[in-house]
Chain A
Amino acid sequence: MDKQGKQRIETIRGRWITLRIMAIELQSAAVALLGYVLWGIPGIWAGFAYMVIFGAYFLRKLPKTADVTVWLNQQFPELEDSAGIFLKDANAMNLLEQLQTAKISPRLQLLKLPLSFYKSIWNTLLFATIAIILCVIIQIRRGGTITRELSEAPHTMVEKVIPGIQRVAITITPPAYTGMPTRSQVSYHITAEDSAAVHWEIHTHAVPNNISLLFSDSTVLRMIPDSSGTTWQATKCITHTGFYQVKMDSVLSGFYQLQLIPDQPPLIKVTSPAPNTTIDFGRMPLVNIHAQLSDDYGLKFATIIATIASGSGEAVKFREQQFAFDQGLSIKPKQLNATRALNLAGLGMKPGDELYFHIAVTDTRQQQTLSDVYIVTLPDTTALFSLDGMVNAVNIKPEYFRSQRQIILETEALIHDKDSLGITRFNSKSNELGTDQKLLRLRYGKFLGEESESNVGDPRVEDHDHDHGDHEHHTDSPAFGDAAKILDEFTDKHDNAEDATFFDPEIKKQLKATLTEMWKAELQLRLYKPQEALPYEYKALRLLKDLQQKSRAFVPKTGTKTTPLKPEKRLTGEQDKISPAVMKQIKDYNDPDAVLRVAIAVLDGHVSPEQLTTGNNAIVLRQSLAKLTSAASREPGKYLAAMAALQRIVQGQSKNADPAIAQQGLWKLLTPAVIPQPAQQQPSQLKEFYFRNIKKTANP
């Protein structure tokens, strides 16, 4: 009897626990639904968390049978507070307890559990209903954003797998030089280093006849089965970006991305020296080369290639030398702050020499990068002391100017030494200075076109000193037959002196004034009065200095003057023989984007999905698909999703978001273009009437 009672209590406890667990599960389902609506797939974890927390809490505090009897006693007065007795061992019961058990037992069997027993279920149902209503409201409120999310879908690639494939294991082995470890993945989309070996291992449920991989460059890789026929393998070295498909028997999978990480050539950043460096005389002839070298996998070699140029003009010589950096590259670092100090003196460089150098860096893939060329110059200081071309732009007169200064210096010395020289020597020296002054005057006179003796500097010159102002010529007895001398007698050679035309009248005037001063100085010197000559000499020098400044003035080239054209005579020659060119060509204009633009319009939703696969629409979409496919093999990340979407549309298996994805891909393919187009006008004669009538009113 009491056994039945105990059983009954256990049953009630079991039902209680079941109901509570069901309630918790239902609640967590509601939470998961709410989470999904709010945050998408990750929101479902909220439901799991709820289930784990509350489930664990409940399981830890499972209601004991004693709790059940207490509850029964409270709920049902007819049990007379005796439900607990059933839990006791029948043998241990005293008489009273046995009697009570016998009395209560039938009542216990007939107990109808009250509604409050199922309270947790009703509460949970209410909770779930509220959650569903909330979800509906959120969904409604968000109506616009959900479509937006759909249109952004191409960024998340969904893998379309052949049903017969159980799983795939892809092992990517990057080339050894990268030093990257081999890695495995179970996803079909591959991102691999350049020249990496990719190994596919496909496990199937059934035993297919063949599995092959179709690549975007139209190569086909047949997979090799093992003995069981359910594991297939293939390996390929990836050298370019693209995409691939898995083909099992005749079933094709979706498109999977094959993204290549290219190995970039090394980078060189030279921080010192500056591209053009001059090491001034007196500084240490030392060049510190600092460079930051970097590569994505490792640096193998780095050298400084230097060329030393010495000498000038045609005698220039080149010498090439290579230097290593101070830091070794034995560990093949990814980055290196390389330094090297070059001692130019040690390289045998002299002032005037130049050093050109660049840095060559090779990475572990044997890709070489060369830096820009840097130039280090050791200037030649002796050239600085050369006055060539510095005194005068024309570079003719410096010696004469120095001469005038020399005469002044010697005059001053003569005056200074007057007492020690004695009168004869003084006079003779003064006379010699006069001669020098004369020679100088004659040389300047040449510029003015003044006549001069051809034998200047001849000692005899002093003897026939004559006036150059007049034009009388008393020459030596002419040698017979010397035509030049005879001619000299009868001709005036003033205008022969071409030099005279070098100067403009202003300069000529000043030059004449200089000559006058020189004359006066010479006169005083000849009169043995060097003291009196000195002011004239100084004045002559000052005028010469002025002249020197003036002669530096830029004289522009004079243009050629041509006779003016007579327009009425222009092009009036005989033109019968001219046969002008006639050019005729037909350029086949074919806008490559037109078909893409039509495809975008076709996909814009006003054509039903069935019509997309027939007639003109199908042709347009197929042509666009071809373009998209070639773009996708170049840049799978950008175009693969669009290509797959368009492919589904062409095959008539499109999903909701496909047209938008395909449109975006096609849109990215369009090249920017502008073209002149005429305006559109409504056919109407109003404009014509208007102009006809306005003319009538204007000219009645």
Chain B
Amino acid sequence: MSQYRTYIIAAVGALLLLWLLWQEYRRPNKGYLIGRLLASVLAVVSLVMLGIELHPSQREKPPATTIPNANTTQKPVFLACNWERHLAYLQPVHISGRYHNTTASPIRLALTFAGETLDSTTIAANKDTTFHMQTVPPFLGAGLLKLITTTGKDTLATAPVPLEVAAVQPLRILFVAASPDVENRFLADWLSTQGMAVAMRSQVAAKQYSTRFDNMNSVSLDAVTAPLLDKFDVVIAEKQALTATEKNVLTEYMQHHDIGVLLQPDSNTTVNKIAGEILLKDSLGKPSAVLYHRSMGKVLEWGISNTYTWQLSGDSMRYRRFWSTLLSAASRSKEPKATIAISPAFAAVNNEVTLILRNTGPLLDSFLLAGETRLPLAQHPLLPAEWRSTWWPVKNGWHQLKYQNITINEYIFGPDEWPELQRKPTVVAGKSPEQELASPTVWWWLLPFLAACIFLWLEKKL
């Protein structure tokens, strides 16, 4: 309703103006007719401008509670909503939240981009429920999806879903095979065409290995050692291809590093253990790929040893999906030296925002750059790797945050974007910061209004 107030004020003003002009025109005494008409116009326009500028929503005092309360709210609202703000290339974004539909009709939530609906869900009438939506954003960089809530044909609200998609990160994969085989060959071929670094060791004789290096410099693969493993994110190995020492090296390495090991299935592999995280299920609902955590490392087992036939039969999307799921889940996480995070999640304009720098190494710069603003950093008293800074963004929309060579884009929400989830500022000394920012220009309209009124009054009296 508040956004329509401008129009309502304008319409009322127009009606008032028409009536006043008519009254002035009708008056038997036609003296100063033009002057009176002009004065009426000026008075009404000033009054309307005053009304618009002193927008009630800007004068409203923030409610005392910061979290919307399901029992007291009358309008349908999001009680919670969250998603990954920074995504890896071509990875899906998962939007989960809770919506309270207080109306008696179902409400549709639609996730859109550039006018195309990507995913949608319906919240039944009078229901307070969780929802989940998922999509792969089509852009690379910073972009806004839109979450549109509609009931029937009416749009209730449009909320931005800001995301930043990172550029592609090449994986480094080591194959250890007991013999040269087709399955590995196909997988290595596909991965290398995707720009991944691939090294392959296939045993051809007792102490002889045929090797293959794609998109990387050749290294000695005669023995799997810790320095060699440092160079890779994922190891795809057959159990019998690893010597006893190598197995020990791998186990020891996984104690301290989150490398992923994909154990290739042999003819009697059955994936039916329950001890791991089920990544994929077959058509019968049985787990076909299971991920186990071993200390810091990950071990992945699966039961299909002829996926190359999918690609041969032209079903290359299935092949890619399968291997992308497996390799993404198992690969070593990218752990940058430093990252920048923002708090609260729905950081609003003209509000206090905390920027958090997580930096494991020594702190090279003592400040962050938010656009052109230098923000000094302070170390967290308990977490030595965390540095914080306070920032008051004055503009909503995308902002670039920089520290050294790390640059991220963060979105600052406007006051009408996700208002129910924005953390409302506590009222300091009875004044909210917006009031001070909004006020100065408003009262200038009072002068012409008063002047016009004085003229009209004087004209009548004289």
Question: Which A residues fall within an 8 A CB radius of B?
Answer: 115, 125, 129, 133, 136-137, 140-141, 143-145, 148, 151-152, 571-572, 575, 578, 580-587, 589, 591, 594, 597-598, 600-602, 604-606, 660, 663-664, 667, 670, 672-685, 687-688, 691, 695
Contact = CB atoms under 8 A, between A and B. Distances in A.
Contacts of B138: 597, 600, 667, 670
A683 B140 contact: no
Nearest to B330: A676
Given A601-B139, A676-B323, A676-B331, 20 more contacts: A141-B154, A144-B148, A571-B205, A575-B205, A575-B206, A582-B211, A583-B212, A587-B195, A589-B195, A597-B138, A606-B397, A670-B138, A674-B317, A677-B169, A678-B333, A681-B333, A682-B341, A684-B360, A688-B256, A691-B256
Contact of B331 (A143, A660, A672, A679): A679
B139 A600 contact: yes
A580 B142 contact: no
Interface stretch (B213-221, B421-429, B437-445): B213-221
The 3 closest A-B pairs by CB, nearest first: A144-B155, A589-B195, A151-B115
A378 B141 CA distance: 71
Contact of B206 (A136, A571, A605, A695): A571
Nearest to B317: A672
17 contacts: A125-B18, A151-B114, A575-B207, A582-B212, A582-B213, A583-B212, A585-B214, A587-B214, A601-B143, A667-B116, A674-B320, A675-B320, A676-B171, A677-B89, A678-B332, A691-B255, A691-B296
Contacts of B233: 678
Interface stretch (B7-15, B32-40, B245-253, B347-355): B7-15
A549 B327 CA distance: 60
A605 B141 CA distance: 12
Contacts of A687: 296
Interface in B137-178: 138-144, 148, 150, 153-155, 158, 165-171
B122 interface: no
A598 B141 contact: yes
Contacts of B113: 663
Given A580-B204, A683-B360, A660 B115 contact: yes
A575 B338 CA distance: 50
A639 to B, nearest CB: 15
A677 B328 contact: yes
Contacts of B333: 678-681
Contact of B168 (A594, A601, A682): A594
B192 A587 contact: yes
A600 B214 CA distance: 32
B382 to A, nearest CB: 11
B461 interface: no
Nearest to A595: B140
A603 to B, nearest CB: 8
Contacts of B150: 144
B69 interface: no
Contacts of B317: 672, 674
Nearest to B357: A683
A143 B233 CA distance: 50
Interface in B304-341: 317, 320-321, 323-328, 331-339, 341
B210 interface: yes
A358 to B, nearest CB: 28
A691 B168 contact: no
A378 B319 CA distance: 49
Nearest to A583: B212
Given A591-B168, A682-B358, A691-B255, A580 B208 contact: yes
Contacts of B402: none
B391 interface: no
Contacts of A143: 3, 155
A675 B327 CA distance: 9
Contacts of A571: 205-206
Nearest to A672: B317
Contacts of B204: 578, 580
Contacts of A587: 192-193, 195, 214-215
Contact of B88 (A602, A604, A678): A678
A133 B10 CA distance: 10
Given A144-B158, A587-B214, A675-B324, A598 B139 contact: yes
A447 B337 CA distance: 88
A545 B285 CA distance: 54
Interface of B: 3-4, 7, 10-11, 14-15, 18, 26, 86, 88-91, 113-116, 138-144, 148, 150, 153-155, 158, 165-171, 191-196, 204-215, 218, 233, 255-256, 295-296, 317, 320-321, 323-328, 331-339, 341, 358-360, 385, 397-398
Nearest to A133: B11
B336 A683 contact: yes
Nearest to B341: A682
Given A580-B204, A583-B211, A677 B88 contact: yes
Contacts of A606: 142, 144, 397-398
Given A676-B323, A684-B358, A604 B115 contact: no
Contacts of A137: 7
A129 B328 CA distance: 63
B171 to A, nearest CB: 6
A381 B136 CA distance: 67
Given A144-B158, A660-B114, A675-B324, A594 B140 contact: yes
A582 B218 contact: yes
Contacts of B116: 664, 667
A578 B208 CA distance: 8
B208 A679 contact: no
Given A675-B324, A679-B334, A580 B256 contact: no
A589 B328 contact: no
Nearest to B334: A678
A421 B327 CA distance: 98
Contacts of B385: 683-685
B90 A578 contact: no
Given A148-B115, A606-B142, A676 B324 contact: yes
Nearest to B153: A145
A679 B88 contact: yes
B79 to A, nearest CB: 22
A575 B317 CA distance: 42
A601 B141 contact: yes
A585 B360 CA distance: 36
A591 B195 CA distance: 9
B193 A589 contact: yes
Contacts of A145: 153, 155
Contacts of B171: 676-678
Nearest to A683: B360
A300 to B, nearest CB: 37
Given A600-B138, A677-B168, A680-B88, A129 B14 contact: yes
A646 to B, nearest CB: 13
A685 B360 contact: yes
B281 to A, nearest CB: 18
B212 A584 contact: yes
A241 to B, nearest CB: 24
B359 A683 contact: yes
A318 to B, nearest CB: 36
Nearest to A146: B155
Contacts of B327: 676
A183 to B, nearest CB: 34
A673 B316 CA distance: 10
A595 to B, nearest CB: 9
A678 B336 contact: no
Given A145-B155, A684-B360, A586 B215 contact: yes
A681 B335 CA distance: 5
A227 to B, nearest CB: 50
A136 B15 CA distance: 14
Contact of A674 (B90, B170, B192, B214): B90
Contacts of B142: 601, 604, 606
B291 to A, nearest CB: 12
